[in-house]
A and B are shown apart, each in its own frame.
Chain A
Amino acid sequence: MGADITLFHWEPNANSGKPMLALAEKGVEFQSHYLDLLNFDQHKPDYLKINPQGTIPAMIHGDLVLTESTAIMEYADNAFDGPALMPEDPRDRWRVRWWMKFMDQWLGPSFSMIGWSIFVGPSVRARDPKELEAAIERIPLPERRTAWRKAIYNLFSAEEMAESNRRIGVGIGMLEEALTKNKWLGSDRYSLADVNGFNLGYALPMSMPDLANDEKTPHIMEWLRKIYERPATKAIWAMGRAPRFTERVKFLEREPQA
């Protein structure tokens, strides 16, 4: 089956990591096509032929092209055999969808803004200014052009960073509460919401230790560790190339019992 599935992705992290982990959980083999986000591979002509929007990830299945990470995960769950990654009960399904939208549109962008401000921007900023300006001009979506410009020239206002931090605080509280109600996020069965949430939050205990730790958010910590221990998660994070991503997930390793 793997022969006719190609996934275009960056590191196992955030949007790229979502379909990678969902496919691994389904037991679906895929051809991996790595694109270096920091080298603007996603805006190069070869890739724009596949996804004219220039966003990562994208998946080719036979002669179909799928885009948008959450929608690709849902497609994979519907199209391929393997364990179901959506619960059966309609109300559980509602909760799983609610959480994915909340993460994709509200909580995720706040994490992303901070990640782009402290990591993505500084990673590329030192390059030749003309080259960077040309790279920005090649970005197809105006929203993405604005995002890259902000990251490269560090144009984030104090207000919007404060709002992102406020949202992260609120979101962590909501996640902790949700994980006291159900075994997994939104339902009692491992689902796409957990795959989504892990990609969003796996680095939290390391990057925001004051907000996410064993005292304040024990349910989040246990949830992340349980997902980290799944064979699919181990296999996907082993595909990472940049040490930042392959190393920081190891923070979830449990301490050996004395």
Chain B
Amino acid sequence: MSLILYHGEPNGPSLTVLAALFESGREAELVAVDLGAGERHAKAPPARLVEMSIEGEGPVLVADGEPMADSVFLAQYLDESGAGTLQPTDAYARWEMEMWCRFVIERVAPAAAFLGNRAHLTPTLQAMKDADFETLVGRIGSADLVARWRRERAGDYPEAQLEDSRAKIHQAVRKLEARLAGDWILGAFTIADLETYAWLAGMVSVVPEAFADAPKTAAWLDRVKARPSVQRALAQARSNDPLQAWAPGPEINRWG
């Protein structure tokens, strides 16, 4: 079974999947792409389900010729076809993991992407020539993902959504601080730790006040970072600070 992982800098969804790969013990060919330059659409093999992924710009895992996307589901795939250590077996603990990951996917990730792109991606996109930007978005098959690229290039970040996004990062840290009793979120180390770390680590510099009074969260961030799988993922970085690598992510809930 051949595996090829097209991944961005080890931040956000690419960090989750790289670390899950190393935890799973599976072998994969690694291909680094610049997600913030839209390279995924030029270099990874095209596929409808990847183009339409809710996650936006994330890594693509090609398993025996089938391109797949969405970091939590890729982590589950790697775990279920590999070592099988990243998910609880108890049905209730499993439900807790699913619920925690959904909270990150639906609330935290859109907020983090909004704030991270504003801080780090917008200046790069604004420096691009119009023709180059049009070439970039011309390759993208999802109209609403294109709309997010255009918004990010225009620097269109309404204050109400910024406020809401910062509130969601605060909420995530409060939730984490209240939940952490031992080393990991659910007791044992799971995909929930990876996915939460992947989206929150880059927020420490963007929304520092959210982390100001959260000692358990600070210690947990250090613990996740120290895991060999995460260290190995971070070693894939090609830039000086992968926490500054962002790309258009999941959209902010438009209904309900």
Q: Which residues of A contact B (CB under 8 A)?
A: 64, 66-68, 71-72, 74-75, 78-79, 90-91, 93-95, 97-98, 101-102, 105-106, 109-110, 112-113, 143-144, 147, 160, 163-164, 166-167, 170, 174, 177
A90 near B256 with CB under 8 A, answer no
Within 8 A of A (CB), among B43-96: 48-49, 52-54, 63-64, 66, 68-70, 73-74, 76-77, 80-81, 91-92, 94-95
Interface of A is mostly: helix
Interface of B is mostly: helix
Whether B102 sits at the interface, judged by CB under 8 Å, is yes
In the assembly, what is the distance between CA of A48 and CA of B53, in Å?
34
Which of B53, B63, B66, B256 has the most C-beta atoms of chain A within 10 angstroms of its own C-beta? B256
Cβ of B95: which chain A residues have Cβ within 8 Å of it? Answer: 66, 71-72, 74-75, 78
Closest to A96 in B: B73
Answer whether A106 and B99 are a contact pair too, CB < 8 Å, given A75-B94, A143-B253.
Answer: no
In the assembly, what is the distance between CA of A72 and CA of B48, in Å?
28
Q: Mark B107-150, 1 if CB is under 8 A from A, else 0.
A: 00000000000000000000000000000000000011000000
Instruction: List the 9 shortest-distance A-B pairs measured between CB atoms, nearest first.
Output: A79-B91, A78-B91, A109-B255, A90-B81, A90-B80, A75-B95, A94-B77, A97-B73, A71-B98
Cβ of A93: which chain B residues have Cβ within 8 Å of it? Answer: 76-77, 80
B143 near A174 with CB under 8 A, answer no
Measured CB to CB, the closest approach of chain B to A229, in angstroms, equals 28
A112 near B94 with CB under 8 A, answer no
Whether B106 sits at the interface, judged by CB under 8 Å, is yes
A105 near B54 with CB under 8 A, answer yes
